[in-house]
Structure 1
């Protein structure tokens, strides 16, 4: 499932390519035909990501809410305007994480996880790129326009030069302004939305009043927005926190440290497009980690492998119907 950094990057792509423009909307699959008809011809006025959900505002006080869920993805094609202030694989990456490390040679992720590097250099370019948790784009010069519909497209949004196809979302619904605000009100704080200090207080209060294991609380989108399986495992390891500890038993200073670490890791994820959670790497180690996801995490997806700190085998268990990776010694 796409985690918070991916959804924020997708929202930024919509902000650059769709806001201020009228869209032709259709539902090639047919499952969103009525909604597409209502959207058709309206101008996109704003876009906002909150955790794992994106909200697209159109004229006439009509909002589109999209939750990609486990299988959803956006496919962009046409002229994609990439923000030159955000690092891409054709420029410098990881300044946030590497304290000034200067990496000028392109880093290509074999798993295709970096959405902006898939789009290409910070300029207008005609491409085809999928944006979800694992993203990959291919140059598509001279392709047919509008692009042919491929597969089950729930919603197609089309400007004169850019196309966005939505496939397999958990939610794709239209909302009134009041309904949109009510949806957001049910979500936990997102470090990139609203006041950081206020978000921290909300997070601390929500965690400290519950007997639920902290591993479940971090995945509860009503407690904190945007954290998924990868960030959950990594945040808990970085805090050396036993995932089964009840929220109310986690020291307040540890809860605050979790929030501040999430603020930091989310910023890195938005900048690089990858869930980089390891610190103080050499340029060579950093390059390897950016190219291969198995080299950029402490415990996630490392079942049975030795802990990078103590050598104990990483444990995999199921909690809340999701996989949890942790070190039984470092996080005892």
Structure 2
């Protein structure tokens, strides 16, 4: 390989700001730092974060001409002299937030400083990353499947297993909302752990797909304005769910609080709902006697634990049926923006 391709955002005026350069000389890559790893990126997955960065509406700064995307899977090409945990030929996944201790959960400042916003991301065929931005790829997954684990997979894993004493176990009842990446990963992980999962969606077609992935019951949140109460009726003696993965924030929290059991946990892992929804008073968790926990992603050590879980349970992350090629990145962004996808939107990079 004498040249490689990458996408950048010279401006942040929207998806049309994305620019592709297909003939960057490999010789133009900077010298490898002592703690750096050169990766041939094979696949990248999109998050809603990529859309708000492209539009310049994400909180915090954006590095000029940033290479977008945080989620990637690839093969190590070379390592710096101080790198001992990776070698050429290893398959790796990216972690969005490098340069922090392996046990530290990222918060918003670390995410703002991370890949795709203030460090060049994964929408490029060759990329240099600090070794702390990488973890081994599960042995049982493809590059397309693996790249979905960086954000959605790790968030879902943290939601289910990250609260000490409340880890999801066989026989528990779990509610997941919608068919985006976090929700589908949470459904797959919870089913793999032996939990009973109820899901929500807005269409009959998606409901059938959710049942095919192991959901016991599915509730249509578009036609049922009290879907939280309806979902609760599926739990034994109408007692409510042990854990709920809430991805819509203020819009869905009232429903989540109606569905949770006493001493259960509602994990707020997204804000994809109506931004004009009325803020839910947190005294709601007092009336329900439950825990409400917010989180971003998960620590790098937790990522490594998830890799082992995926291997041991032979979980294969779900990728949307439409996989895009490198030249089609703009179309992939538009597809995500239009919410046509099921689970994760993936781009084949190399």
Q: Tell me the TM-score normalized by structure 1.
A: 0.25
Q: Tell me the TM-score normalized by structure 2.
A: 0.24
